[in-house]
Amino acid sequence: MNRIALITGASSGIGAAVARALAGRWRLVLVARRKDRLDALVDEIHRDGGDAVALPADLATDPQGIAERAAAIWQGLDAIVNNAGLFATSGSDALTAEHLDQLWRINLRAPMLLTAAAIPYMRARHGGSIVNVSSVAADTAFSGCGAYAATKAALEAWSRVLREELRRDRIRVSVVAPGATDTGIWPAGFNPPIDRMCRAADIAAAIRFILEQPASASIDRMVITPPGGAL
């Protein structure tokens, strides 16, 4: 249990499921705003014999500082799961600056700045993995999801560039694009029926698979969708 992973958005949904999937195999730093939820998850992981530390923080403000504090906890970083995200809807004729800014800050600005600050720690360990959690919305049109889709498409465009920039450092960059998944992210009335959604644990298992590939393989993009379709 030597490798160290930073997971953002670990207080619920997919991020909490990733923490459970990696627990006991990785040392974990768990980031989100809701401290009570992070603390409860850390207690659960400790009870099961794993290593995890809660790092309560708001990714809207100082993502670089969060990366620095995370790297100091276990003296390094081997993996980042940029999972924290917001979903909100608006027709394109009703867009507001507030809607755009809040989605952009968490879904794009935060992972880009956090990763920038974390790269030197991965270089110091001669390798690492970055998993950016996108969405099928990055390349599928859903009415009302223009701003959200734009943040995820931009996240994927940046991920492609990052992958090329970091190859010589043996830092792998992967994108995971979930389809509809049963978490609390859905606005009331917007979510598909539960039997037409993936489970957070399904997405987490894919992320663990990506992180635990041998050094000779990189999974560049993985799409996971509910077999029956969401609609």
Ligand X SMILES: NC(=O)c1ccc[n+]([C@@H]2O[C@H](COP(=O)([O-])OP(=O)(O)OC[C@H]3O[C@@H](n4cnc5c(N)ncnc54)[C@H](OP(=O)(O)O)[C@@H]3O)[C@@H](O)[C@H]2O)c1
- Collapsing DSSP to helix, strand or coil, 155 comes out as helix
The two counts, helices (H) then strands (E), for the chain are 7, 9
Q: Which of residues 158-197 bind ligand X (CB under 6 A)?
A: 178, 180-181, 183-185
Applying CB under 6 A, among 4, 28, 30, 135 the residue interacting with ligand X is 135
63 counts as binding ligand X under rule CB under 6 A: no
Structure tokens given for 10:
């670990």
CB-based contact 19:52 (threshold 8 Å): yes
Residues 64-103 that bind ligand X (CB under 6 A): 83-87
- To ligand X, the closest distance from the beta carbon of 109 in angstroms equals 11
In the shown chain, the binding pattern of residues 196 to 215 toward ligand X, with x for contact by CB under 6 A and - for none, equals ----x---------------
Looking at residue 168, the DSSP 8-state letter turns out to be G
Q: Strand pairing partners for 51?
A: 27
Instruction: Supply the minimum distance, in Å, between the C-beta of residue 143 and ligand X.
Output: 16
Does 15 bind ligand X (CB under 6 A)? Our answer is yes
Q: Closer to ligand X at the Cβ: 75 or 143?
A: 143
Among the options 148, 174, 183, 198, which is catalytic? 148
Q: Which helix (H) or strand (E) holds 142?
A: none
Pick from 4, 21, 42, 133: which binds ligand X (CB under 6 A)? Answer: 133
Nearest residue (CB) to ligand X, 131 versus 133: 133
User: Which tokens hold the place of 24?
Assistant: 């006991």
Structure tokens at 138: 């990055």
DSSP letter assigned to residue 177: E
**Nearer to ligand X (CB atom), residue 60 or residue 170:** 60
Q: What is the dihedral of CA 27, 76, 56, 224, to 10 degrees?
A: -60
CB of 141 to ligand X, least distance (A): 15
For this structure, is 121 an active site residue? no
What residues between 24 and 43 interact with ligand X by CB under 6 A?
Answer: 32-34
What does the alpha-carbon distance between residue 90 and residue 97 come to, in Å, rounded to a whole number?
A: 11
- Tell which one of 60, 73, 100, 150 touches ligand X (CB under 6 A): 60
CA distance 158 to 28: 25
Structure tokens of 224? 């996971």
Q: Which residues are marked as active site? A: 148
> Which parts of this chain interact with ligand X (CB under 6 A)?
9, 11-15, 32-34, 58-60, 83-87, 106, 133, 135, 178, 180-181, 183-185, 200
